[in-house]
């Protein structure tokens, strides 16, 4: 019985060794193909007019060159995506209270503290030159709400 187990162990060992050698060869071939793909993509990008993305019009307008309404809408969309999508209207047209920060651990203990935290977050994320509009004008609330939900 011991003799047969030794023969079977040798056969299994040889089969595993052949499989490992074949797997290593396939991994090397796969790596070479990936290198070829990267090289082809790089050369395709370097050819003028070969890539349809080259024909796209790219705009690199920064926040300072936008009109006031566009700046408000951009800030509102950014806030909706990055922070809070549904901003209640009570968060607009109020001044930020001193001493309240958006990452206060007590922010979520009540609805009032959650609203105060949201107002603090709005002020933190909005550029300083738009804080007056945020606190005193309906244009900020109307633009942010209309731009966010459409």
Q: Where are the domains of the chain?
A: 2-55, 63-148
pLDDT digits (tens, 9 = 90+) for 98-121: 788 888 888 888 888 888 888 888
Distance (Å, whole) CA 13 – CA 3: 15
Contacts of 28 (CB under 8 A, 6+ apart): none
pLDDT digits (tens, 9 = 90+) for 5-59: 788 888 888 999 999 999 999 999 999 999 999 999 888 888 876 555 545 555 5
* Alpha-carbon torsion (106, 112, 114, 117), positive or negative: negative
Distance (Å, whole) CA 145 – CA 88: 9
pLDDT of residue 140 exceeding 90, the answer is no
Burial of 5: CB neighbours in 10 Å, binned 0-12, 13-18, 19+: exposed
Query: Do 129 and 110 touch, CB atoms closer than 8 A?
Result: no
> For residues 39 and 79, which has the higher predicted lDDT (pLDDT)?
39
Query: Do 107 and 73 touch, CB atoms closer than 8 A?
Result: no
Chain centre to alpha carbon of residue 129: 26
SS3 27: helix
């Amino acid at each position: 019985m011991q003799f047969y187990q030794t023969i079977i162990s040798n056969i299994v060992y040889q089969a595993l060794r052949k499989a490992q050698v074949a797997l290593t060869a396939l991994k090397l071939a796969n790596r070479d193909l990936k290198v070829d793909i990267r090289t082809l993509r790089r050369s395709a990008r370097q050819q003028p007019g070969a890539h349809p993305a080259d024909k796209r019009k790219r705009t690199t307008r920064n926040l300072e060159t936008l009109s006031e309404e566009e700046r408000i809408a951009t800030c509102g969309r950014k806030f909706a995506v990055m922070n809070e999508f549904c901003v209640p209207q009570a968060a607009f047209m109020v001044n930020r209270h001193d001493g309240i920060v958006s990452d206060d651990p007590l922010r979520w203990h009540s609805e009032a503290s959650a609203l105060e935290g949201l107002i603090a977050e709005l002020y933190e994320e909005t550029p300083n030159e738009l804080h007056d509009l945020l606190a005193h004008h309906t244009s900020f609330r109307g633009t942010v709400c209309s731009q966010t939900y459409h």
